[in-house]
Amino acid sequence: MYRNVRNKSTIPALFAQTVALNPDKPALIYEATGEVWSFRDLQQRCHAVAHWARDQGWTEGDVVALLLESHPVVVALWLGLAMVGVEAAFINHNLRQHSLSHCVSVSGARAMVFGTEMTEAVSEVTDSLRPDMVLFRVGEQKDEETPSNIRAQSLDTLLSRSPTHPPSYKLRKEFHDRLFYIYTSGTTGMPKAAIVVHSRYFRIAAFGFHSFGLRPEDVIYTCLPLYHSAGTIMGVGQCLLFGVTVVIRRKFSASRFWDDCVKHSCTVIQYIGEICRYLLAQPVRPSEARHKVRVAVGNGLRSSVWEEFVQRFRIQRVGEFYGATECNCSLINIDGKVGSCGFNSRILPSFYPIRLVRVQRDSNALLRDSQGLCIPCQPGNITYEAWRHVSLARGKCFHHRGGRGPERPAGTH
């Protein structure tokens, strides 16, 4: 981290170093078509995007909204924009009407890039977008298939004419400057745009790589949406920063999951929420015994599902991380302790000062000692025993492992 701060590194600059080491290695594989992009291919596509962005007259700090289903082109778009300081706003492609219009509007985007699969959704909000909003379409679509209220340029055509050499532009952004925006889920109101800076992207991806024992020769299978930080940072970040190959699937399929892993020789999988439970609910398939998956990375794996999942599918290691896109702290479970919410080692508090502290069970008010200071949790404490809305949180209690590494009692979590 210190070296990157000192060198004023950015994600595009770090990606260029990765490309130099692995120019011909597969970077991204699109499972739906089998299309393979090498690191050189990805970089050239990013350069084309960067030149296109400059041709539009956009400058550092301008925002472009992205509304596409998961595809390698999403990576080329946001990373190419970042090369010239333009910031992408990742729009959830499941949103419609007012929610969609809200997310595009609050981003302050000057333009929106959408996939042809999102044409109907875009047509529903076109009239509510800013008058000078420029629309670009990715994918083939006949004129008669385009609603009359959408006037969009073909981005495929524009990029085919765009140079693939590095843009002659010196990026003024540094390690702690804005990279892009990812939205909150909207469970407590309308989705909110959370800023992701270059240093945070690096920190999340690097923590995942080093903490969970990932390797440059790994192949990661992700069916998570790329509009979310888990997919585009924890997943794709391993590709951009560490040379790992990433297989992108458009949508999760429980019935095809292990077949895909066998097909692409995947060694790492990503999960979130109930994916593991859905996989356990599937009938036994021969591919379960033939896959090479070594590590599962994600969050929200229930204790009751965890042990059955690793036993049935022979997963050697589960790496869990806990946080939120809009949150300025997170925890990581590095040793696969079932039910643990993670901890901070003794070397982290000096530059990452977070602690779990005790609260009143009913009011959530902070508990304080006689000196008025918050009371740290001890190893073995339960973070939450009772939930007011049991149907929303059943089985999701986690145990605190403590923050002092070797000082915690053996076997506690």
Give me the mean pLDDT over the 91-104 stretch. Answer: 97
Q: Which residues of 238-264 are buried (b: 16+ CB within 10 A; e: fewer)?
A: bbbbbbbbbbbbbebeeebbbbbbbbb
Q: Name beta bridge partners: 368.
A: 374
Give me the mean pLDDT over the 197-217 stretch. Answer: 95
Give me the mean pLDDT over the 148-164 stretch. Answer: 95
Please give the Cα distance from 335 to 4 (Å, whole number): 27
pLDDT of res. 332: 78
- 10 Å CB burial of residue 29 (0-12, 13-18, 19+) is buried
Write out the two tokens for 377: 């949790």
Write out the two tokens for 349: 């508090």
Write out the two tokens for 1: 């981290």
Contacts of 237 (CB under 8 A, 6+ apart): 201, 202, 204, 205, 208
Instruction: List pLDDT tens digits, range 314-337.
Output: 999 999 987 777 777 777 787 778
Q: Tell me the CA distances in angstroms from 145 to 119, 123, 204, one per residue in order.
A: 9, 12, 41
Instruction: List pLDDT tens digits, range 210-268.
Output: 999 999 999 999 999 999 999 999 999 999 999 999 999 999 999 999 999 999 999 99
Minimum mean pLDDT range among 51-60, 222-231, 263-272, 360-369: 360-369
Give me the mean pLDDT over the 273-286 stretch. Answer: 95
Write out the two tokens for 149: 């209220």
Backbone angles phi, psi at 261, to 5 degrees: -65, -40
The band of 143, judged by pLDDT with boundaries at 50, 70 and 90, is low
Sign of the alpha-carbon dihedral angle for 25, 30, 36, 40: negative
Of 246, 241, 217, the residue nearest 71 (C-alpha): 246
Instruction: Please check the confidence at residue 347 and state whether its pLDDT lies above 70.
Output: no
Contact status, residue 115 vs residue 136, Cβ threshold 8 Å: no
Write out the two tokens for 69: 């289903």
Q: Name beta bridge partners: 134.
A: 111
Between 342 and 15, name the one with better pLDDT: 15
Q: What is the DSSP string of 216-254?
A: TT-EEEE-S-TTSHIIIIIIHHHHHHH--EEEE-SS--T
Q: Which CATH number fits domain 1-337: 3.40.50.12780, 3.40.50.620, 3.40.50.1100, 3.40.50.2300?
A: 3.40.50.12780
Sign of the alpha-carbon dihedral angle for 228, 232, 237, 243: positive
Write out the two tokens for 166: 């590095």
Please give the Cα distance from 225 to 249 (Å, whole number): 9
Please give the Cα distance from 106 to 348 (Å, whole number): 35
Please give the Cα distance from 253 to 370 (Å, whole number): 54
Between 185 and 396, name the one with better pLDDT: 185
Please give the Cα distance from 357 to 348 (Å, whole number): 17
% of the chain at pLDDT higher than 70: 89
Instruction: List pLDDT tens digits, range 100-111.
Output: 999 999 999 999
Each domain of the chain, given as residue ranges in start order, spans 1-337, 339-347+355-413
Write out the two tokens for 276: 């593991």
- What DSSP designation does 28 have? E
Rg (CA), the chain: 22
Give me the mean pLDDT over the 83-89 stretch. Answer: 99
Please give the Cα distance from 244 to 22 (Å, whole number): 10
